[in-house]
């Protein structure tokens, strides 16, 4: 299960009966997954037949034939991944938090963090590309505003920005409109916005 601090927690399971075990824990807020998220360390139950914690989870697990479980949390960069293992035999998962399951969880959380960073970088790159493509129009509009108002570049940009905010339009759209009209008919509006 993946958690980024919000209410949405996507989970993947390898058997249909396990989905219900995850769901009962998320709905009740009680079970190994919530306990592991709270503690930040592995939570296990060596034998659910003798377990007294988590009654709803315990009943559903035993009904599915699960006798033992372990949930291991992995936290990195604001992301938490829990890996839950289930066994039909009691005591079968005692070493799970230290073996291949630990390596698998570390790999999963590392890949998810890298993917998140990569997607954020792509978004930023798209935004920078859009800004670079619109920059010439914004510069032209600033030149027009500077000429009309007799002000410097910073003041002209401030006027364009105020128009953008007041009309809830993108700065590039406002700049395009100023360039298209070449400032004609905008003199009084620009003067009032400059003050």
At residue 121, does pLDDT exceed 90? yes
Q: pLDDT at position 45, please?
A: 92
Confidence of residue 192 (pLDDT cuts 50, 70, 90): low
pLDDT band (50, 70, 90) for residue 131: confident
pLDDT of residue 130: 85
CA angle 141, 143, 149 (to 5 degrees): 100
List beta partners, residue 75.
80
Query: Residue 184 gets which letter from DSSP?
Result: T
Of 96-100, 165-169, 171-175, give the lowest mean pLDDT range: 96-100
- Please provide the average confidence, as pLDDT, over all residues in the chain: 87
pTM, two decimal places: 0.65
């Amino acid at each position: 299960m993946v958690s980024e601090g919000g209410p949405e927690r996507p989970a993947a399971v390898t058997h249909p009966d396990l989905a219900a075990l995850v769901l009962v824990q998320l709905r009740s807020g009680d079970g190994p997954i919530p306990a592991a998220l709270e503690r930040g360390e592995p939570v296990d139950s060596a034998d659910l037949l003798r377990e007294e914690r988590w009654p709803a989870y315990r009943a559903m697990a035993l009904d599915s034939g699960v006798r033992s479980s372990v949930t291991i949390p992995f936290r990195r960069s604001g992301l938490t991944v829990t890996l839950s293992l289930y066994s039909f035999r009691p005591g079968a998962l005692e070493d799970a938090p230290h073996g291949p399951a630990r390596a698998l969880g570390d790999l999963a959380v590392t890949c998810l963090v890298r993917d998140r960073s990569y997607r954020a970088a792509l978004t930023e790159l798209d935004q920078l590309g859009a800004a670079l493509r619109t920059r010439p129009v914004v510069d032209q509009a600033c030149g027009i505003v500077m000429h009309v108002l007799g002000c410097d570049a910073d003041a002209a940009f401030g006027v364009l920005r105020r128009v953008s905010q007041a009309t809830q339009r993108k700065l590039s759209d406002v700049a395009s409109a100023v360039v298209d009209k070449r400032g004609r008919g905008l003199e009084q509006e620009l003067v009032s916005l400059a003050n």
